[in-house]
């Protein structure tokens, strides 16, 4: 009896153990299934996350490329520094304006770079060795919380702005001087006329007294010199270029060279002329433009006392951003040149390096060119020569014309005197 009861107990225990095992196996299977499902969900979520990250990375790269393209297309120089003031980025315009490779700027402290620029070129306006005038602006970069994240430096090319400012200042000075000179000229010319009249009368009365007659002649020459000075001052302060019209470029140059022949020493100066086929005519005040070119030609000849080459050229002006197409006239010589420190003053009234002269010649040239709504620039290298570049707007309704033959003037001053050495060539160089 006892034996049967023990067997029954063992069977129950075994049955219970199998039942618990089955239950445990079921739970384990359920847990496994749940884990498998979760892993699949996690794989799906991971794949979605990876796809989102790849999309975000692609968008970031696209944005980076877009920002880079924008920065590289700017005419303004851009320097970006991090929170430690280290330059991490700059664009191509920065390289061009400063003349320093981008690799030479990255990794340097932005403050040191700016201090070096200001040390070498001073405060605004900063004039670089290339002749470009720049202005610097600095801005701190911050995040949403106001924490400093870096610095942005902008380098602006203000060369054109400075030129316009200088022209405006010069124009204001001219207006003020014009009012004063007009009054002075009127007050001086009246007594000068009387002096000239009496000097003329003295010359007649003193025909038999050469010594005294020469005194009267000197007085007359001094009066005439004073009158020319007053006339030049009036032209400078009140340039009138209202008689605008079309003028043949070749004919204009011929007439200027004819007027200049008396000043060209025989056999010493070679004259060259280049007229572009697209510049057969000039829209200008013919008389005033001849005065401009004649002044420049005479200056060029005087700059070549030992002889050299005088070049006159007319061609389309090099295109400039945000500027209308224009025409460029050039008068160049191979003479002594102008020292760099004097080039900015050559157009100032009464400034001259000559022993004799009023210093109004180039000032009048500048005033007449501006009266044509143009500009004049000087390029010179001591010992190699000087070029004056006149930029004039095209005439009303002017478009590229039917190509005209190039006019070439070359040869000795004697040939230039006769103006017979003009030959036509098919190409413009």
147: domain CATH number is 3.30.450.20
* Three-state SS at 196: helix
- Proportion of the chain above pLDDT 70, given as a percent: 83
**In this structure, are 279 and 348 located in the same domain?**
yes
**In this structure, are 132 and 170 located in the same domain?**
no
Q: What is the pLDDT of residue 420?
A: 31
* Three-state SS at 370: helix
**In this structure, are 196 and 305 located in the same domain?**
no
**In this structure, are 119 and 147 located in the same domain?**
yes
Q: What is the pLDDT of residue 389?
A: 94
- Tens of pLDDT, residue by residue over 231-290, are 777 777 677 788 888 999 888 988 898 888 887 777 788 888 888 888 888 889 898 999
69: tokens are 């393209």
CA distance 362 to 349: 8
Q: What is the pLDDT of residue 403?
A: 41
371: tokens are 């009266």
Residue after which a domain boundary falls, among 109, 129, 157: 157
Q: What is the pLDDT of residue 405?
A: 41
CB 256 within 8 A of CB 297: yes
- DSSP 8-class letter at 86: B
423: tokens are 């030959």
Closest by CA to 399, choosing from 244, 281, 247, 273, is 281
Confidence of residue 296 (pLDDT cuts 50, 70, 90): very high
- Proportion of the chain above pLDDT 90, given as a percent: 6
φ, ψ for residue 354, nearest 5 deg: -90, 155
322: tokens are 């945000």
Answer whether residue 406 shows pLDDT above 70.
Answer: no
Q: What is the pLDDT of residue 424?
A: 34
**In this structure, are 322 and 420 located in the same domain?**
yes
* Ranges 68-82, 115-129, 327-341: which has the least confidence: 115-129
Answer whether residue 121 shows pLDDT above 90.
Answer: no
Q: What is the pLDDT of residue 303?
A: 87
Confidence of residue 425 (pLDDT cuts 50, 70, 90): very low
**In this structure, are 397 and 315 located in the same domain?**
yes
Q: Is the dihedral of CA 377, 379, 382, 386 positive or negative?
A: negative
Answer whether residue 338 shows pLDDT above 80.
Answer: yes
342: tokens are 């004097």
Q: Is the dihedral of CA 20, 26, 29, 35 positive or negative?
A: negative
**In this structure, are 119 and 82 located in the same domain?**
yes
158: tokens are 């203000």
pTM, entire model: 0.56
Closest by CA to 253, choosing from 278, 273, 283, 277, is 273
Q: What is the pLDDT of residue 153?
A: 86
37: tokens are 């499902």
Cβ count near 121 (within 10 Å): 15
- Tens of pLDDT, residue by residue over 346-400, are 887 777 777 666 677 888 888 889 888 888 989 988 888 999 999 998 877 655 4
Q: What is the pLDDT of residue 188?
A: 77
**In this structure, are 216 and 346 located in the same domain?**
no
Count the domains in the chain: 4
**In this structure, are 294 and 211 located in the same domain?**
no
| Burial class of residue 108, CB neighbours in 10 A (0-12, 13-18, 19+) | middle
Residue after which a domain boundary falls, among 130, 157, 184: 157
Residue after which a domain boundary falls, among 177, 212, 237: 237
Q: What is the pLDDT of residue 428?
A: 31
CB 88 within 8 A of CB 96: no
- Tens of pLDDT, residue by residue over 134-159, are 888 888 888 888 888 888 888 888 87
- Tens of pLDDT, residue by residue over 51-78, are 888 888 888 888 878 777 877 778 888 8
Q: What is the pLDDT of residue 305?
A: 85
Closest by CA to 366, choosing from 162, 182, 170, is 170
Q: What is the pLDDT of residue 356?
A: 66
Answer whether residue 161 shows pLDDT above 60.
Answer: yes
Closest by CA to 135, choosing from 67, 71, 72, 75, is 75
Per DSSP bridges, beta strands 77-82 and 148-157 are antiparallel
- Reported as type and span, the H/E element at residue 377 is strand 375-381
CA distance 235 to 229: 10
CA distance 206 to 217: 11
**In this structure, are 21 and 109 located in the same domain?**
no
- Tens of pLDDT, residue by residue over 17-46, are 778 788 888 888 888 888 888 888 988 888
Q: What is the CA radius of gyration of the chain?
A: 42
Question: Domain holding 250: CATH number?
Answer: 3.30.565.10
CB 216 within 8 A of CB 257: no
Beta bridge pairs of residue 408 = 274, 423
- Token pair 């900015």 in the structure block, residue: 344
- Structural domain that includes position 171: 162-237
């Amino acid at each position: 009896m006892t034996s049967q009861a023990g067997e029954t107990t063992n069977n129950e225990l075994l049955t219970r153990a199998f039942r618990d095992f089955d239950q445990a196996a079921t739970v384990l299977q359920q847990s496994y299934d749940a884990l498998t499902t979760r892993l699949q969900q996690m794989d799906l979520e991971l794949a979605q996350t990876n796809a989102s990250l790849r999309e975000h990375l692609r968008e970031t790269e696209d944005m980076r490329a877009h920002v880079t393209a924008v920065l590289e297309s700017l005419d303004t120089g851009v320097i970006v520094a991090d929170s430690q003031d280290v330059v991490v980025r700059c664009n191509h315009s920065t390289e061009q304006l400063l003349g320093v490779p981008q690799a030479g700027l990255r990794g340097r402290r932005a403050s040191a770079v700016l201090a070096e620029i200001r040390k070498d070129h001073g405060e605004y306006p900063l004039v670089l060795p290339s002749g470009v005038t720049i202005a610097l602006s600095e801005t701190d970069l911050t995040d949403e919380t106001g924490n400093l994240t870096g610095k942005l430096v902008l380098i602006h090319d203000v060369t054109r702005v400075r030129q316009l400012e200088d022209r405006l200042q010069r124009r204001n000075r001219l207006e003020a001087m014009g009012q004063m000179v007009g009054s002075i000229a009127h007050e001086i010319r009246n007594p000068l006329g009387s002096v000239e009249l009496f000097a003329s009368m003295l010359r007649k009365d003193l025909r038999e007294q050469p010594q005294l007659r020469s005194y009267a002649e000197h007085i007359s020459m001094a009066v005439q010199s004073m009158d020319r000075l007053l006339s030049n001052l009036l032209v400078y302060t009140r340039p009138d270029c209202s008689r605008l019209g079309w003028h043949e470029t070749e004919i204009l140059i011929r007439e200027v060279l004819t007027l200049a022949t008396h000043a060209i020493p025989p056999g010493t100066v070679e004259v060259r002329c280049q007229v572009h086929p697209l510049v057969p005519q000039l829209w200008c005040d013919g008389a005033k433009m001849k005065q401009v070119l004649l002044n420049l030609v005479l200056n060029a000849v005087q700059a070549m006392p030992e002889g050299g080459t005088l070049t006159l050229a007319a061609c389309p002006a090099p295109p400039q951003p945000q500027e209308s197409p224009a025409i460029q006239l050039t008068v160049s010589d191979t003479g002594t040149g102008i020292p760099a420190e004097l080039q900015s003053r050559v157009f100032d009234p009464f400034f001259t390096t000559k022993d004799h002269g009023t210093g109004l010649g180039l000032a009048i040239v500048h005033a007449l060119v501006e009266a044509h709504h143009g500009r004049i620039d000087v390029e010179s290298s001591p010992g190699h020569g000087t070029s004056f570049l006149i930029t004039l707007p095209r005439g009303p309704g002017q478009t590229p014309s039917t190509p005209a033959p190039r006019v070439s003037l070359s040869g000795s001053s004697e040939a230039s005197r006769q103006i017979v050495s003009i030959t036509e060539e098919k190409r413009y160089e």
